[in-house]
Structure 1
Amino acid sequence: MLTFNWIALIILIVFVVFLILNRGIAIISQNQVGMVSTLGKYSRKIEPGMHLVLPFITRVDRVDLAQVPLKLNEQSVISKDNAEVIISLSLNYHVTDPYKFTFENADSVQSMIQQSRAHLRGIIGTMELNEVLNGTERINAQLSKELGSITDSYGVNVDRINIDTIQPTPEIQESMNKQINATREREAAIAKAEGEARSIELTTKANNDALIATAEANAQAVKVAADAETYRITKENEILSQSSDQYLAAQSIEAFGKLANSQSNTVVIPTSVTDSLGSIKTLGAVLENKKEK
């Protein structure tokens, strides 16, 4: 029968064997590589799978090569015109050089984050607030370009960087709202003034057109009346020019007859008329009739 000491020895041996096997076998998952260091010095890189390594004197650092999403904390940034904005940034990166990522930087990811924040401050600092609020794509492109030449030394590559939100501080937002309201009121006043000016212009034009139309109508009426009068006079002259002396004398006799039948007791006849009428027999009858009355 085994004593307690033998049981303890067996357990110890099993534990040591397990520890040796655990330390001597390295299993690398897909999308990973293993960076093997022996006695603190890099020795080789191992691919996905199971590998035997020397226990206790060998260390295996597993590096994930898959793309990693990373969301940065909100950051306060000052624009060129001294406006403070809060920016939320996110990015995707993957490891391109496992050796640089593991051995040349104490924390490549943290270094990449610091560089992203620093370059973001530099870019925003050269832009006015309106440019910042409306220039998300421009900021993303410029930030990606500048990070591309720096993060290579960290053994990583930024595949995509995106500004999620750009939010002015409450004070800046309030100032912007006042400016927007003032702009709207000014535009409304200008539009109203332009509308009134246009209305006055149209009314004045309509009145002028009405006056011109009335004047033209009056002028046309006067012209028509003058033309009618001219036509009447012309026609009368033509008729008179075609009438005989006997017709004119008869017209004069008729006129003198009406005058003789009037209430007047005296009829004055010009000598030139009596001379022209002396040869007309009916004149005596007219005069005789006057005497009887």
Structure 2
Amino acid sequence: MVFLLLPLIIIALVILLSGFRIIPQNYEGLIETLGKYTKTVKAGLVWIVPLIQNSRKVSLALQPLEISKYSIITKDNAEITTSLTLNYLVTDSYRYFYNNTDSVESMVQLIRGHLRDIIGRMELNEALGSTSQINTQLADAIGDLTDIYGIKVVRVNVDELLPSPEIQRAMDKQLTADREKTAAIAKAEGEARNIELTTKAKNDALVATAKAKAEAIKTEADAEAYRIERLQQSLNNAGEGYFKNESLDAFNNLASGPNNLIIMDKSEMTELGKVPAAKKIWDKLDQEEQATPETEE
């Protein structure tokens, strides 16, 4: 009798032991009874009724996901290719597993739709320069997906926005043209500035030369006026007898010449002596001026 019960006991023990399940850390277990959801259990050792109940494990850990490149049309009908990455976690294992056949794919389709809507309201240049703004709008649009898919998107980031090859070639040509235009303008401005500086330098040189000449003429005129003033002072200071002697010498010189006939008023005879006297004084002033630089040196 004992031998007959022993196999039954062993089978019963095996069945009982087969009902134990281990739910790992950061997982939840969904218990089903005859295919119908019964309850959700936390991590640890769980026992279910063998052959009647079943358990499913759902990870609650943060999951990374990369959405492959796909095309979007902007407001100005330009085609761009975008790709993004995100991190999500399951916040409601029941909704995640039972409400959708594939909650992750449904979430991806929702995110793509929001991204198409956001970029579709932007022109190409605006979209290419507004990655941070797009990330913010996309995160606000997604919100908390717990009630729909049992998922929460923790972070979403648009990694790249690439125009189509045709648009890239057109943009490269435009960029090259803009650079050439900027370089031509800079070169023209440089040449104009060079001409302006050269002209100013020439004008400054002409002005300086003119000023130097004016100063030289003024100096020469001042010297001439000074010599005339000295001459006049010397003539004024000379005595009447001096001019008479000079007049006699002048008459003697004239008498010794081939043309020795002179007719003049008596009052002019003394004035005649001033001519050789003035010449002597003038020559003396010249000698003084020539000696002055040598003395200064």
TM category, shorter: 0.7 to 0.9
- Secondary structure class of the residue paired with 1:73: strand
Residue range with higher mean Cα deviation, 193-202 or 144-153: 144-153
Residue range with higher mean Cα deviation, 163-172 or 65-74: 163-172
Residues 234 and 270 (structure 1), Cα distance of their counterparts in 2 relative to 1, 3 Å cut: same
| Structure 2 equivalent of residue 139 of structure 1 | 134
Q: Is the 8 A contact 2:247 2:270 kept in 1?
A: no
Q: Could you tell me how far 1:137 is from its partner in structure 2? A: 2.6
Which of 175, 186, 191 matches 1:191? 186
TM-score (norm 2): 0.80
TM-score (norm 1): 0.81
Structure 1 unaligned blocks of 5 or more: 1-9, 278-293
**1:268 maps onto 2:268 in alignment:** no
| Structure 2 equivalent of residue 171 of structure 1 | 166
Structure 2 unaligned blocks of 5 or more: 1-6, 272-297
Residues 14 and 272 (structure 1), Cα distance of their counterparts in 2 relative to 1, 3 Å cut: farther
The two structures, once aligned, show a CA RMSD in angstroms of: 2.7
Which of 200, 204, 211 matches 1:205? 200
**1:42 maps onto 2:12 in alignment:** no
Which of 65, 69, 72 matches 2:67? 72
CA distance in 2, matches of 1:152, 1:229: 112
Q: Is the 8 A contact 1:25 1:51 kept in 2?
A: yes
**1:94 maps onto 2:89 in alignment:** yes
Cα deviation digits, residues 45-88 of structure 1 (max 9, x gap): 11122222223432322110111111112111122232211112
CA distance in 2, matches of 1:27, 1:212: 102
- Secondary structure class of the residue paired with 2:68: coil
CA distance in 1, matches of 2:88, 2:147: 11
Which of 248, 265, 271 matches 1:253? 248
| Structure 1 equivalent of residue 290 of structure 2 | none
Q: Is the 8 A contact 1:151 1:158 kept in 2?
A: no
CA distance in 2, matches of 1:185, 1:208: 34
Q: Could you tell me how far 1:225 is from its partner in structure 2? A: 1.1
Residues 64 and 46 (structure 1), Cα distance of their counterparts in 2 relative to 1, 3 Å cut: same
- Secondary structure class of the residue paired with 1:74: strand
| Structure 1 equivalent of residue 286 of structure 2 | none
CA distance in 2, matches of 1:92, 1:14: 48
CA distance in 2, matches of 1:161, 1:74: 15
Q: Could you tell me how far 1:200 is from its partner in structure 2? A: 0.8
Which of 156, 161, 164 matches 1:161? 156
The one-letter code matched in structure 2 to 1:267 is L
Which of 30, 49, 53 matches 1:58? 53
Residues 272 and 156 (structure 1), Cα distance of their counterparts in 2 relative to 1, 3 Å cut: same
In the TM superposition, 1:106-125 aligns within 5 A as 106-125=101-120
Q: Could you tell me how far 1:209 is from its partner in structure 2? A: 0.4
How many residues are treated as equivalent by the alignment? Answer: 266
CA distance in 2, matches of 1:239, 1:221: 27
- Secondary structure class of the residue paired with 1:185: helix
The one-letter code matched in structure 2 to 1:263 is P
Residue range with higher mean Cα deviation, 213-222 or 97-106: 97-106
Residues 27 and 159 (structure 1), Cα distance of their counterparts in 2 relative to 1, 3 Å cut: same
Residues 274 and 134 (structure 1), Cα distance of their counterparts in 2 relative to 1, 3 Å cut: closer
**1:82 maps onto 2:77 in alignment:** yes
**1:223 maps onto 2:218 in alignment:** yes
- Secondary structure class of the residue paired with 2:224: helix
Residues 147 and 190 (structure 1), Cα distance of their counterparts in 2 relative to 1, 3 Å cut: same
The one-letter code matched in structure 2 to 1:238 is Q
Q: Is the 8 A contact 2:32 2:39 kept in 1?
A: yes
The one-letter code matched in structure 1 to 2:263 is I
Q: Is the 8 A contact 1:112 1:151 kept in 2?
A: no
| Structure 2 equivalent of residue 3 of structure 1 | none
CA distance in 2, matches of 1:116, 1:210: 74
- Percent of paired sites with the same residue: 48
**1:30 maps onto 2:50 in alignment:** no
Q: Could you tell me how far 1:40 is from its partner in structure 2? A: 4.3
CA distance in 2, matches of 1:172, 1:116: 25
Q: Could you tell me how far 1:251 is from its partner in structure 2? A: 1.7
CA distance in 1, matches of 2:86, 2:116: 16
In the TM superposition, 1:228-247 aligns within 5 A as 228-247=223-242
